[in-house]
A and B are shown apart, each in its own frame.
Chain A
Amino acid sequence: MKESNNIVVQIDGNDYSFETPDTVLNKLLELGYDIPHICYQPNLGPLQSCDSCLVNINGKVVRSCSTQIQDRDSIDVSSSSINDLRTEAVQLILHNHELYCTVCENNNGDCALHNAVHDLDITVQKYPFEPKPYDYDDSNPFYAYDPSQCILCGRCVEACQDIQVNETLSIDWSLPRPRVIWDKGVPANESSCVSCGHCVTVCPVNALMEKSMLRKAGYLTNIDRSTRKSMVDAVKSVEHELTMAPVMAISNAESKLRKFQIKKTKTVCVYCGVGCSFEIWTKGRDILKVQPQPESPANGISTCIKGKFGWDFVNSKDRLRNPLIRNGNGFREASWDEAMNTVAKGLLNIKSKYGGDAIEFIASSKGTNEEAYMVQKLARQLFGTNNVDNSSRFCQAPATTGLWRTVGYGGDSGSIQDIYMADLVIAVGTNTAESHPVLATRVKRAHKLNGQKLIVADLRMHEMARRADIFLHPKPGTDIVWLSAVTKYILDQGWEDREFLSERVNGLEEYRRSLEKFTLDFAAETSGIDQETLKSVAEMIHKSKRVCALWAMGVTQHQMGSDTSTAISNLLLVTGNYGRRGTGAYPLRGHNNVQGTSDFGAMSAYLPGYQSIKDTDVREKFEKAWHVKINPNVGYDNNTCLEAMEYGKIKAMYVIGEELVETGSDSAYIREKLSNLEFLVVQDMFLSETAKYADVVLPACASLEKEGTFTNTERRIQRIYKAMDPLGNSRSDFAILKDLANKLGANWSYKSPAEVMEEAASLTPMFSGVRYEKIEGFKSLQWPVSQDGTDSPFLYEKSFAFPDGRARLFRVSYTQPLTTTKTYDLQLNNGRLLEHFHEGNETYKTEGIREKVPGTFVEISPTLATDRDISNSDLIKITSKWGSIIVPALVTERVSGNELYLPMNGQGERGINNLTGRIMDPTSHTPAYKELPVRIKKVNNGDGNSPLPKGNPRFYSANPQKGIMIENKWKRKDYVKLVTE
């Protein structure tokens, strides 16, 4: 008797019953069938290019990857006739690929073609291999393409076109011998390729290989290409007699042996806050490659140039290997014992002279959650101060404030998957494709394939702006005006979600009144966006069932950063876009662990889990656990502590993994403050500009050299594992902090970061169910995590994080930002470039990245360039009220009118913060980096060439298409059809 709704089928004469629908291939794999599927990869879906997964269903030969299993199907998988067809399919593929597995870098047990040949017991090649008449392309600094090894499966094309959506790769099916082409058929390094590595990651063979794998992957791969060709030819000469079987056997053995020399370690990227996880392959200290996995929760198979290829800093010769102690006009290397004694003594000296509140502790947003917890515990338990903070103060604190005011939790309200599911994405002040590239891929894919709408508000015509359905270019610093005007217009039209507002939100009427001045007239005049466009935005929001708002530094790094963030959340509340999948607010966190460092209490007003330092009950809980009295006063944060130095309040600092001098606003001011400190400890991987002012520099190790957890922008807690030992005598922050605490008499007994997490979880309701064993490997938990381990992929389904469970509309008002004047007549904007992370102290260590973007420059609009007689590479002096820098010009239409853009990857004298001032958001104390009127002067003429080299993708146009266009293969005369019509 058939069970209700189950799919009952017969496979090879046996009965099976399935509860859920899926493709035949997935069901067969689930059942343990070893059926080849060379072109199929789960994140890409069925490409139907290889025919290696053929089965016979009810008498018809079909591709199992693209066929949904149906009730009462009779499926033949194992008969000799269907096996012969699969063998024929693989034989046809071998015409395009020379098997030399033993000396192939891809012979790591996961080569889809090798495995298919082996499983189908193919011992003689039916269609001899014929090389394709195209050159090997190793022009890109990170990967190489060998057309003759390319089996035309299309995985790379699908990944490039529809996952990454950079739309560079395609297969030219019209060629006599088809191949993968870049753009319209140019070398890889002269194309729009952004080196994200998707194509290399998914290539099932060795056609696309990371250059870091070449010659290094196997025991017999360290031979040059011409020698290898001779060797392969020699072996092939006897293949007819010997068959492929012995060679396959040797290559299988060699592949197994590789496991002894290649270590695969799960880790999480250390650049932006998207939280891409992957396996990193190492051979000793050599990093062979980064391989994201389908189960990587935030990114799947996706990476960007930095995460895939930007790891050379780990083995950089510039890494600190020993502690340094200031000694006259230089540092001298010292033993750990001496250095730690000096640190302990120096800090105790300050404490005894001025009290613990004279010391500021800065935790690293690049460090782990456990290390952040230890820093704040060190400050509070041993020095009795709340002067502890992290770099979220420089970027995301205003967004957190906006969310605390309105919905309760200072984090993204859903997951990246929710952004993908939205009908409409509104991106404000975010250059997502460059600053959060992997998250942007999901928006680009949904926009390209699912009809998702996209509204982008920003100053520059960047990639997301080009893709937008509506692009808004407001006057700098006026986002709050157009956002509030659109919200008011929606309320005026009666388009608000009344039921949601009445059941789940407080303060509507008061808020409505506060919007009175935000008329369309006012908004158009103030923001420069015309009324019709504002109405179109409101209509698009009104017509969309699921809306997500993304924002970043273009919003937060203004004096009104907190209020603009609040305005975004208000708009989402008025339209009912919270608490459902595909909706919500997404401030895009900038560092890998800027979310977690704040979450775990490295904040001047909060204990871990945003438990207020002013709350007596909370303090008592920590006092009981830590056996000390907790200071009830809010401390100085990492921005205001600089002013506190000026007033003599802060005498010492302990800075961990933060390049304060180059990333804080007004570098000259910061340099002066640091040189006036009585005692400065800096813990870093490099002798940073900040470290150069230190009394003691402690060499910290890289994320690959330690264990712990990071929390990404989705509130997702993920583990990192140790791939190699710390370089030289460097140590993890965990080891250093524990040692210091114990030198100060704390008797911390943590044996591992797992024990720190247990303690944090025991004191923090938000993390109460977080345990290492629940987040093993690629598993993760999104906070809040209840005691039973239930996590929260999306928030506010039933209630908001306030005592009454209701959200709050929060009134905001507009004050004018810093604007241009007669003296400072241009507006300078700044931000990231795709290739670099901040000032580039890690990314410049990778030669290929330096090749793509060797330095910074200032983008100038063609109109302004003509007006000021400026050409590419002319050296331009930019002067603000607070300083000046000289950089080369790049004339581009990405900027317009009197707006300039300076990528923040300038170092030393070219750094953006030589120009910024000390103006900040009064609520969150985040510097108003983006409010920067300047003037420019041409210093001398350049050579007219762009400061970006020829190999930079920004010069080239992509070649968009949907997928791999497999129909064009099927139309070819040489296509051998194996399926039944």
Chain B
Amino acid sequence: MEKKGLRKTSDGVKKMAKSIEMVEKIDEMDNLIELTGLVSEHFGQIKEMISLIDVVEKSGILTLLKAVLSDPDAILSVISSEMLRESNVRFLRNSSSLVALLSHIDPDKLDSISRNVTASINSLGEAAKGENIGILTIMQMMKDPDIAEGIRLMFGILKGIGSAGKK
């Protein structure tokens, strides 16, 4: 017995096979069976993933992410045009300058200066209790090697700023 739809030649009568295009789709049973197999194989991981999604959803991040991903051009466009506003450009440039400044300073030297500054600030209470400062007192204080070092440092910085200004 031949299957339904196949051409038959029984009784010596040929049935012409017409050219056909219509296709009756099957359901996706095969795919579903394959999917079921995958689910049971990775059941533990899938549960973990679902709990992760749950957490992310509750935190609101998922909604935000969805919004960003659904119209990334709009978001990027806003961000980039905001970045180009004069005040923001200034902020960015200043931030960059600060970053550049910091990246050029020898961290060891900065460390020792900051330690000294911290120590000076801490000893401010003691110094403030002293007498009024006259010229002579200043001259005397200049002999203190710590003060002399501090002044040399200040002059060095002032010189650098001055020469940069000339340029």
**Bound-state Cα–Cα, A692 to B23, Å:** 10
Binds A, one of B52-60, B79-87, B107-115, B143-151: B79-87
The reply to whether the CB of A564 lies closer than 8 angstroms to some CB of chain B is no
Asked if B23 and A223 sit within 8 Å, CB to CB, the answer is no
B100: chain A residues at CB < 8 Å are 241-242
The reply to whether the CB of A330 lies closer than 8 angstroms to some CB of chain B is yes
Q: Which of A231, A241, A325, A330 has the most CB of B within 10 A?
A: A241
**Bound-state Cα–Cα, A980 to B40, Å:** 73
- Closest chain B residue to A325 by CB distance? B5
Asked if A687 and B26 sit within 8 Å, CB to CB, the answer is no
**Bound-state Cα–Cα, A347 to B18, Å:** 20
A-B contact pairs, 14 of them (CB 8 A): A223-B73, A230-B80, A237-B89, A241-B100, A330-B24, A331-B22, A332-B26, A676-B17, A678-B9, A680-B17, A689-B19, A693-B18, A693-B19, A695-B5
Asked if A678 and B30 sit within 8 Å, CB to CB, the answer is no
Seed contacts A349-B2, A677-B17, A678-B7; 5 additional CB < 8 Å A-B pairs: A230-B81, A234-B83, A238-B89, A677-B7, A692-B19
The reply to whether the CB of B42 lies closer than 8 angstroms to some CB of chain A is no
Q: Which of A238, A322, A334 has the most CB of B within 10 A?
A: A238
A238: chain B residues at CB < 8 Å are 89, 92-93, 95-96
**Bound-state Cα–Cα, A612 to B41, Å:** 53
- Closest chain B residue to A330 by CB distance? B22
Asked if B77 and A230 sit within 8 Å, CB to CB, the answer is yes
**Bound-state Cα–Cα, A676 to B14, Å:** 7
0/1 interface trace, chain A 674-704, chain B, CB 8 Å (1 if under) = 1111111000000101001101000000000
Interface residue tally on B, bucketed by range? 35 or more
A945: chain B residues at CB < 8 Å are none
0/1 interface trace, chain A 637-662, chain B, CB 8 Å (1 if under) = 00000000000000000000000000
**Bound-state Cα–Cα, A687 to B79, Å:** 49
A332: chain B residues at CB < 8 Å are 5, 23-24, 26
A223-B73, A322-B26, A687-B21 are known contacts. Are A242 and B99 too (CB-CB below 8 A)?
A: yes
**Bound-state Cα–Cα, A49 to B92, Å:** 38
Q: Which of B26, B77, B92 has the most CB of A within 10 A?
A: B26
A671: chain B residues at CB < 8 Å are 19
**Bound-state Cα–Cα, A677 to B19, Å:** 12
- B59-102 with Cβ < 8 A to chain A: 72-73, 76-77, 79-81, 83-84, 89, 92-93, 95-97, 99-100
The reply to whether the CB of A327 lies closer than 8 angstroms to some CB of chain B is yes
A223-B76, A230-B80, A693-B17 are known contacts. Are A237 and B92 too (CB-CB below 8 A)?
A: yes
Asked if A334 and B6 sit within 8 Å, CB to CB, the answer is no
- Of B5, B16, B92, the contact of A234 (CB 8 Å cutoff): B92
Asked if A330 and B92 sit within 8 Å, CB to CB, the answer is no
A322: chain B residues at CB < 8 Å are 25-26
0/1 interface trace, chain A 198-226, chain B, CB 8 Å (1 if under) = 00000000000000000000000011101
- B6-46 with Cβ < 8 A to chain A: 6-7, 9, 14, 16-26, 30
The reply to whether the CB of B4 lies closer than 8 angstroms to some CB of chain A is yes
B93: chain A residues at CB < 8 Å are 237-238, 241
The reply to whether the CB of A346 lies closer than 8 angstroms to some CB of chain B is yes
* Shortest CB distance A39–B (Å): 33
The reply to whether the CB of A572 lies closer than 8 angstroms to some CB of chain B is no
A227-B77, A227-B80, A238-B92 are known contacts. Are A729 and B17 too (CB-CB below 8 A)?
A: no
B30: chain A residues at CB < 8 Å are 335, 729
The reply to whether the CB of A233 lies closer than 8 angstroms to some CB of chain B is yes
Q: Which positions in B face A, CB cutoff 8 Å?
A: 2-7, 9, 14, 16-26, 30, 72-73, 76-77, 79-81, 83-84, 89, 92-93, 95-97, 99-100
A342: chain B residues at CB < 8 Å are 3, 6
Q: Interface size of A by Cβ–Cβ distance < 8 Å?
A: 43
**Bound-state Cα–Cα, A432 to B24, Å:** 44
**Bound-state Cα–Cα, A238 to B26, Å:** 60
B77: chain A residues at CB < 8 Å are 226-227, 230
The reply to whether the CB of A328 lies closer than 8 angstroms to some CB of chain B is yes
Asked if B73 and A227 sit within 8 Å, CB to CB, the answer is yes
The reply to whether the CB of A324 lies closer than 8 angstroms to some CB of chain B is yes
**Bound-state Cα–Cα, A293 to B145, Å:** 71
B17: chain A residues at CB < 8 Å are 326, 674-677, 680, 693, 695
Asked if B24 and A331 sit within 8 Å, CB to CB, the answer is yes
A230-B84, A237-B84, A326-B6 are known contacts. Are A675 and B92 too (CB-CB below 8 A)?
A: no
- Of B4, B20, B80, the contact of A231 (CB 8 Å cutoff): B80
The reply to whether the CB of A295 lies closer than 8 angstroms to some CB of chain B is no
Asked if B81 and A695 sit within 8 Å, CB to CB, the answer is no
A227-B80, A677-B17, A678-B9 are known contacts. Are A325 and B3 too (CB-CB below 8 A)?
A: yes
* Shortest CB distance B53–A (Å): 22
**Bound-state Cα–Cα, A692 to B20, Å:** 5
**Bound-state Cα–Cα, A484 to B4, Å:** 59
B16: chain A residues at CB < 8 Å are 675-676
- Closest chain B residue to A239 by CB distance? B96
Asked if A224 and B99 sit within 8 Å, CB to CB, the answer is no
**Bound-state Cα–Cα, A238 to B19, Å:** 68
- Of A231, A241, A729, the contact of B97 (CB 8 Å cutoff): A241
**Bound-state Cα–Cα, A55 to B105, Å:** 37
Pairs A-B, 9 closest by C-beta atoms? A330-B22, A230-B80, A241-B96, A234-B83, A333-B26, A327-B5, A332-B24, A692-B19, A231-B80
**Bound-state Cα–Cα, A692 to B7, Å:** 14
* Shortest CB distance B89–A (Å): 5
The reply to whether the CB of A329 lies closer than 8 angstroms to some CB of chain B is yes
Asked if A331 and B14 sit within 8 Å, CB to CB, the answer is no
Q: Which of B9, B17, B83 has the most CB of A within 10 A?
A: B17
- Of B7, B20, B81, B83, the contact of A330 (CB 8 Å cutoff): B20
* Shortest CB distance A751–B (Å): 22
A234-B84, A237-B84, A241-B97 are known contacts. Are A328 and B5 too (CB-CB below 8 A)?
A: yes
* Shortest CB distance A698–B (Å): 14
Asked if A327 and B84 sit within 8 Å, CB to CB, the answer is no
A223: chain B residues at CB < 8 Å are 72-73, 76
- Closest chain A residue to B26 by CB distance? A333
- Closest chain A residue to B21 by CB distance? A692
**Bound-state Cα–Cα, A671 to B20, Å:** 12
Asked if B83 and A334 sit within 8 Å, CB to CB, the answer is no
B5: chain A residues at CB < 8 Å are 325-328, 332, 695
A675-B19, A692-B21 are known contacts. Are A346 and B73 too (CB-CB below 8 A)?
A: no
- Closest chain B residue to A223 by CB distance? B76
A241: chain B residues at CB < 8 Å are 93, 96-97, 99-100
Asked if A679 and B83 sit within 8 Å, CB to CB, the answer is no
B2: chain A residues at CB < 8 Å are 349
**Bound-state Cα–Cα, A226 to B78, Å:** 12
0/1 interface trace, chain A 290-327, chain B, CB 8 Å (1 if under) = 00000000000000000000000000000000101111
**Bound-state Cα–Cα, A224 to B76, Å:** 10
A233: chain B residues at CB < 8 Å are 80, 84
Asked if B9 and A242 sit within 8 Å, CB to CB, the answer is no
* Shortest CB distance A773–B (Å): 34
* Shortest CB distance B43–A (Å): 24
Asked if B20 and A331 sit within 8 Å, CB to CB, the answer is yes
A687: chain B residues at CB < 8 Å are 21, 23
Asked if A695 and B73 sit within 8 Å, CB to CB, the answer is no
B89: chain A residues at CB < 8 Å are 234, 237-238
A679-B6, A679-B7 are known contacts. Are A330 and B97 too (CB-CB below 8 A)?
A: no
B24: chain A residues at CB < 8 Å are 327, 330-333
- Closest chain A residue to B96 by CB distance? A241
B18: chain A residues at CB < 8 Å are 329, 675, 693
- Closest chain A residue to B81 by CB distance? A230
A678: chain B residues at CB < 8 Å are 7, 9, 14
A695: chain B residues at CB < 8 Å are 5-7, 17
Asked if B4 and A327 sit within 8 Å, CB to CB, the answer is yes
Asked if A231 and B23 sit within 8 Å, CB to CB, the answer is no
**Bound-state Cα–Cα, A346 to B7, Å:** 10
0/1 interface trace, chain A 803-846, chain B, CB 8 Å (1 if under) = 00000000000000000000000000000000000000000000
